[in-house]
Structure 1
Amino acid sequence: MGNAETAAESEKSFFKKQWEGYKGFWCERFSFLDNYSRFIKRDKPLPSWSEADVEEFIVSDPVHGPVLKTARQAAKYGAVGGLVGAVTTAGWAWKYSRSPHGAALSLVAGGVFGWTFGHEIANHQLQLYRLDTMAAQTKFMEWWEKKVEGY
């Protein structure tokens, strides 16, 4: 049986071996996404929740509620940073080049950079590095699943 496995392995193309190696590498790096897979890969998707549902969870869970609230504040920092970055870089590009495609590219790039800087500011100001925001988000999803399905 060992010879059959070796023969099958040697028959694989160079590119297929490389692809499998890269796939394994990235699967290992993004293994944290497995925390969400049970909520994403469902037969019947969970319904959308409202702001009131999130506030209800924040009040009901004294451990993960405040962490989720802080994570939601950090998302607002990112959104504001993205908006400011997009508008200012597109404005500067339009002012100095009058190039529509340059302004459009600057709008996208400025939005991405601004979103990133906004999250960095939130990370330091709200001290997100001390919190386990993924656990709070997972607990919210579990809570929402139980509430919706009536457990």
Structure 2
Amino acid sequence: MAAAGGDRGRRQNPVPSSSSERIARQQAKLTRDLQSAAEMAAGAVGGFAGHAALESAMEEVLYLRQRDQQLMDQVTALVKTQRVMAETYQAAQAAADRREAEYKEAAAASEARAVAAEAAAAASRRREASMRKQLKSQAKTIAALKVQRNEARKGAAQPQCQE
């Protein structure tokens, strides 16, 4: 009975035996290991997720850099196009200014020719009037000379009295 009583005593007041302690320690260690493994797995998943997020972020940065470069290239092309357009506009404006100056010069020359032609026409009219006057004067002189000649002829044709 002692053995039975001894067993009963153990059941009533269990004393950890070395094997139960060992099992409890192993279970605690296993629990800790599982917890650590779970944390490591979560960390690994987080690490993979973090790595994937980092990789995604790097891809996004690369895409944004490429997009930024494309935009800068477009801006550069637009600036060059704007510069060419400005130079073309300036050249066209300079050509228009030259044409306007040529037109003004031609108009001034045409006006000067018109004034000169008007002056020449006025001078021609004055010469014509002067020549008419001279012709009238010469016609009067010729008429007076004819009258004198006719009178002289009449006088020469009349017999003169001899005394």
Both proteins in one fold, TM over 0.5:
no
Which of these two proteins has the greater Rg computed from alpha carbons? 2
Higher relative contact order (CA 8 A, sep 6+): 1
TM-score (norm 1): 0.24
TM-score (norm 2): 0.23
Richer in helix (by share): 2
